[in-house]
Amino acid sequence: MSLTLIDAACPVCAHAVAAPFFDAGACTLATLAWPDSAESARALPRHALEFVQCPRCSHVWNHRFRYDAIPYQSNPNRMFNNGGIWKGHLAATRDLLLGNLCAAPTVVEIGCGEAHFVRGLAQASDGGRFIGFDPNASVGTGNGIEFHARLFEPLADMAAFKPDAIVIRHVLEHLTEPAKLVEQLAWGAASQPNPCWLFAEVPCIDRVFETERLADFFYEHVSQFTTESFRALMARAGEIVTLAHGYDGEVVYALVRLGVPAPVRARAGAAAGFAARTVEHRAGIAQQLAELATSGRRVAIWGGTGKAAAFIHYFDADAGRFPLVVDSDPDKVGTYVPGTGQQIVFRDALKTEPADVIIIPTQWRARDIVAEMSREGIAASAVMIEHGGSLIDFGRDPHPY
């Protein structure tokens, strides 16, 4: 059987190819339009619903979704279910979370809606701080919770609130980048002094594959989670302690110990250290170039495009102080260094007017260039390369090239 594949990146695992799943055509919003008349209901704009499935993690999503089509700030996403089974599920998951928390915890619910869940946590606890975030301002602070009418910003807000638990119930299915949120929560938790749990819950579409029902698929739910794809997403947040189903299998939830593996944290720390050193290196080499420019020595830069142009930019080798840029590639001769404007001349210019110092920005080509200089009778008192945050003498100083 020939497969039709779609160029679409999975929002859970980032797999780059998807399979067609359900093309529903164009439909209105289903839960957040709130029309006030039959006429306005019929006149609602229609949006493309074209659900695809990730063949790697099994996630299903509408790859034609546009987040700005949904009026979250004016119309809250309200869930209404007053059934006894649902109430029992809420109580069970609330007890699961509270049973793992310290006394008087700080709990943040992201996308809290009318805040019934986080308020229930507050009412069942002896003290603590319970905070709801939602861009819709219909809920007020009080009745045991604080409310912030904005989106939760994980990297900043985790540091500010230092929560013991994050709750995300029936929110991830609305997000175009759910993995971004959970990974940023993991990094936020890794940076705070106290450990943090994540309790997440979403609708589960496992039964769709058994029953082939279609009403599950509507515009506001850009993502449709299977148990497998939900597990894949939660694994990106940290250590999955509990993953289970509720409400007769219609929802799947997880309790996750938020965190980032030590090797990944170490790599981020190494990157931050490198970033700090780049500032020092740029300043140091720029100072060396400034001293060369005022020394009276004739300086040539060998190469004026690609990485050589990057060198010229990073270390402020401007055309006024460093006008001489040479290359042995005839196709580059007569062109100009991007951004700074030195005209690139043929290397033979160094035969008639030798340079005292030749700087070779492409270190890995330095041996070939030095051999070319020897072959062509081009001499200089020093050939310099960038290494270890400094300009060093290629012929005299230690380096790996």
Residue 34: its pLDDT value, please? 83
The amino acid sitting at 59 is H
Residue 73: its pLDDT value, please? 55
Q: Are strands 129-133 and 146-148 parallel, antiparallel or unpaired?
A: parallel
The amino acid sitting at 161 is F
Judge whether residue 76 has pLDDT over 80. no
pTM of the model: 0.87
Residue 159 has phi, psi (to 5 degrees) of: -65, -35
How does pLDDT run across 25-67, given as a tens digit for each residue? 999 999 888 888 999 999 999 999 999 999 999 999 999 999 8
How does pLDDT run across 92-104, given as a tens digit for each residue? 999 899 999 999 9
How does pLDDT run across 152-182, given as a tens digit for each residue? 999 999 999 999 999 999 999 999 999 999 9
The residues with which 262 forms a beta bridge, in sequence order, are none
Residue 275's pLDDT band (cuts 50, 70, 90): very high
Please state at what angle helix 84-98 crosses helix 116-123, rounded to 10 degrees. 60
Residue 202: its pLDDT value, please? 98
Judge whether residue 87 has pLDDT over 90. no
Strands (E), 303-343: 325-327
Q: Are strands 357-359 and 382-387 parallel, antiparallel or unpaired?
A: parallel
Quote the tokens at residue 60. Answer: 């299903």
Residue 296: its pLDDT value, please? 95
* Structural domains of the chain in order of their starting residue, each with its CATH number: 6-69 (no CATH), 84-264 (3.40.50.150), 282-393 (3.40.50.720)
